[in-house]
Amino acid sequence: MKVLVTGHEGYIGCVLVPMLQERGHEVTGLDSGLYSECVFGPAPAPVEAWRLDVRDVEPEMLTGFDAVIHLAAISNDPVGDLNRECTMDINYRASVRIAEAAKAAGVSRFLFSSSCSLYGAGGDELLDESAPFNPVTPYGESKILTEQAVIGLASETFSPTFLRNATAYGFSPRLRGDLVVNNLVGYALTTGEVLLKSDGTPWRPLVHIEDISRAFIAALEAPREAVHCEAFNVGITAENYRIRDVAEIVESVVPGSRVRFSATAGPDIRNYRVSCERIRRALPGFEPKWTVREGVGELYDAYRAHGLTLEDLEGSRLQRIARVKELQARGVLDASLRRTDLPVASGVTVG
């Protein structure tokens, strides 16, 4: 298939793209380059891509594509909280506009990167895809609104699918240090402390970025009837953990490390466990490979191999909120998170 991947230079995108290419798909990217300089370890191979803000996509740009995989978004709660209206503009309104453009251009498949964070304060029971939404952040709200709007675009020729990713972890050329597993391993290695910033009681479903990528590929390649207008929790049901249990896994893997609670550690209202049985039944091509323990080992080895420092972990290369504030301080990013150095439409480039 000819596939457009938005956000292809992000944490997940630069892992997903080569996996799509290995499956024989022809991939074009679309990214504003917000995190293009945030490389940790080997740089990903360049692909043909639009250097473009997702808010500026027009239908004619999507002509000829078989599918759009829409990853691009304000990607975590601190950045989402920075400007709620901007988060809604990018994560919700621009996402719907891209879906509308894809439909108008004759694109048959639209795969939306949603999130289990839309369950929010979900409690301790396992939640399947029919569970009520209870978001506690603008990020979670934006995913709900997008799902609800895009499903209304479905037709005989336009088939949307919603992949509700569990909390991601794992090594990527554009690593995020603000995700819980990645963060805990980073602190364990660089300080000797597995630093918990909450009381450790909340539940989280966790999934490796390679397994998220496998889910997108499985949905892309599945028969239309298996995925049309469907939402899937992406992960493994057994891979729901309390945060304190994740910390103990990190402590057991990283030599000499010890769990410590931050002086400001307290309750976290984000608390949910999810069932991933629907995707297991509907998409037999989805075969997840990773457990959190294995992922912690991968991260530990990668951090050592590439010389992770505490400055790296807490700095703008790995922390999304720090990167945004840095670009704003430099005048490269305005209050609406538009790059001031980026034309409205810069065409197809390689990079």
| pLDDT tens-digit map of 248-268 | 999 999 999 999 988 787 778
List phi, psi (to 5°) of 226. -80, -20
CA distance 159 to 107: 9
Number of H helices, E strands in the chain: 13, 15
Question: Rounded mean pLDDT of 327-348?
Answer: 80
Which DSSP string corresponds to 45-65? PP-EEEE--GGG--GGGGTT-
List phi, psi (to 5°) of 78. -60, -40
Cβ-Cβ contacts under 8 Å for 343 (sequence gap 6 or more)? none
pLDDT of residue 347: 52
Q: What is the mean pLDDT of the chain?
A: 94
| pLDDT tens-digit map of 267-300 | 788 899 999 999 999 999 999 999 999 999 999 9
Number of Cβ within 10 Å of residue 185's Cβ equals 30
Ramachandran assignment for 211, one of left (phi > 0), alpha (psi -120 to 50 degrees), beta (any other): alpha
Residue among 128, 123, 159, 162 nearest 144 (CA): 162
pLDDT of residue 75: 81
Query: What is the third-level CATH fold of 2-175+208-241+274-290+321-350?
Result: Rossmann fold (3.40.50)
pLDDT of residue 170: 98
Number of Cβ within 10 Å of residue 156's Cβ equals 8
| pLDDT tens-digit map of 146-189 | 999 999 999 999 999 999 999 999 999 999 999 999 999 999 99
347: its two tokens: 């065409």
pLDDT of residue 83: 78
Q: Considering the entire predicted model, what is its pTM?
A: 0.95
pLDDT of residue 269: 86
CA distance 275 to 270: 17
pLDDT of residue 284: 92
Identify the burial level of 104 via C-beta atoms within 10 angstroms of its C-beta, where 0-12 means exposed, 13-18 middle and 19 or more buried. Answer: middle
pLDDT of residue 251: 97
**pLDDT bracket for residue 14 (50, 70, 90):** very high
Asked if 215 and 279 touch (Cβ cutoff 8 Å), the reply is: yes
**pLDDT bracket for residue 240 (50, 70, 90):** very high
pLDDT(344) > 60: no
| pLDDT tens-digit map of 191-220 | 999 999 888 999 999 999 999 999 999 999
CA distance 257 to 15: 29
- Percentage of the chain surpassing pLDDT 90? 86
pLDDT of residue 40: 96
pLDDT(81) > 70: no
Q: Enumerate the domain spans of the chain.
A: 2-175+208-241+274-290+321-350
DSSP 332: S
| pLDDT tens-digit map of 301-311 | 999 999 999 99
Asked if 225 and 109 touch (Cβ cutoff 8 Å), the reply is: no
Tracing tokens 């964070």 back to the chain, one arrives at: 117
Question: Rounded mean pLDDT of 115-140?
Answer: 94
